[in-house]
Amino acid sequence: MSDPETTPPATAPEASDGAPALPGKALDIASGYAFTGPALDLGALVWDGRCHADARIRVPLSTLNRHGLVAGATGTGKTKTLQLVAEQLSAQGVPVFLADIKGDLSGICEPGSPDPRIEGRAREVRQRWTATGFPAEFYALGGMGHGIPVRAAVTSFGPVLLSKVLELNRTQEQSLGLIFHYADMKGLELVDLKDLRAVVAFLASDEGARELRSIGGLSPATAGVILRSLTVFEAQGASGFFGEPEFDTGEFLRTAEDGRGIVSVLELPAVQERPQLFSTFLMWLLADLFHDLPEVGDVDRPRLVFFLDEAHLLFDDASEAFLDSITRTVRLIRSKGVGVFFVTQTPKDVPAEVLGQLGHRVQHALRAFTPDDQKALRATVKTFPHSPYDLEEVLTGLGIGEAAVTVLGEEGAPTPVAVTRLRAPESLMGPVARATLDRMVRSSPRYERYAQAVDRVSAYERLAERPAPDEGTDGTRAATGAPKAGQERAPGGRRPRSEEGPSMIEQVAGSGVFESLARSVGTRIGREITRSLFGTARRRRR
> Residues in the chain, how many?
542
Checking if the pLDDT of 107 tops 90, the result is yes
Max Cα-Cα span within the chain: 95
Between the alpha carbon of residue 224 and those of residues 132, 154, 180, the distances in Å are 54, 19, 16
Checking if the pLDDT of 467 tops 60, the result is yes
Neighbouring-strand partners of residue 418: 405
- Give the C-alpha separation, 40 to 146, whole Å: 31
CA-wise closest residue to 266 among 249, 254, 288 = 249
**Mean pLDDT, rounded, for 65-87:** 94
Checking if the pLDDT of 324 tops 70, the result is yes
Cis status, amide bond into 4, omega within 30 of 0 = no
Checking if the pLDDT of 271 tops 80, the result is no
CB atoms within 10 A of CB 538: 15
Checking if the pLDDT of 533 tops 80, the result is no
pLDDT at position 270 is: 63
CA-wise closest residue to 35 among 410, 405, 360, 362 = 410
Checking if the pLDDT of 56 tops 90, the result is yes
Look at residue 155 and give its three-state secondary structure.
helix
- Give the percent of the chain with pLDDT over 90: 51
HSE on the CB side for 121, CA within 13 Å? 19
pTM score of the predicted model: 0.81
Contact 133, 428 (CB under 8 A): yes
- Give the C-alpha separation, 260 to 257, whole Å: 7
pLDDT at position 67 is: 95
Angle, helix 170-185 to helix 220-235, in steps of 10 degrees: 90
- 1: pLDDT confidence band, cut at 50, 70 and 90? low
Q: Across the chain, how many H-helices and E-strands are there?
A: 20, 12
Q: Pairing relation of β-strands 263-267 and 39-47?
A: unpaired
pLDDT at position 206 is: 86
Contact 265, 100 (CB under 8 A): yes
Q: Pairing relation of β-strands 148-150 and 136-141?
A: parallel
Checking if the pLDDT of 288 tops 60, the result is yes
Helix (H) or strand (E) holding 441: helix 434-442
pLDDT at position 530 is: 63
Checking if the pLDDT of 519 tops 50, the result is no
**Mean pLDDT, rounded, for 250-259:** 95
Checking if the pLDDT of 495 tops 60, the result is no
Neighbouring-strand partners of residue 338: 304
Per-residue pLDDT tens for 146-163?
899 999 999 988 898 888
Checking if the pLDDT of 305 tops 80, the result is yes
- Give the C-alpha separation, 404 to 132, whole Å: 27
Average per-residue pLDDT in the chain? 82
Contact 368, 72 (CB under 8 A): no
How is 60-127 classified by DSSP, letter by letter?
EGGGGGG-EEEE--TTSSHHHHHHHHHHHHHHTT--EEEEESSS--GGGGSB----HHHHHHHHHHT-
Least confident of 98-102, 199-203, 244-248: 98-102
- Give the C-alpha separation, 541 to 507, whole Å: 30
pLDDT at position 483 is: 39
Query: What domains are there in the chain, each with its CATH number?
Result: 24-79+89-112+262-447 (3.40.50.300), 154-243+454-468+490-524 (no CATH)
- Give the C-alpha separation, 15 to 19, whole Å: 5
**Mean pLDDT, rounded, for 64-78:** 94
Residues 6+ apart with CB under 8 A from 128: 1, 2, 122
- 468: pLDDT confidence band, cut at 50, 70 and 90? low
**Mean pLDDT, rounded, for 347-372:** 91
Residues 6+ apart with CB under 8 A from 231: none
Per-residue pLDDT tens for 332-355?
899 999 999 999 998 988 988 899
Checking if the pLDDT of 40 tops 50, the result is yes
- Give the C-alpha separation, 182 to 195, whole Å: 13
Checking if the pLDDT of 449 tops 90, the result is yes
Between the alpha carbon of residue 300 and those of residues 36, 37, 257, 482, the distances in Å are 12, 9, 21, 56
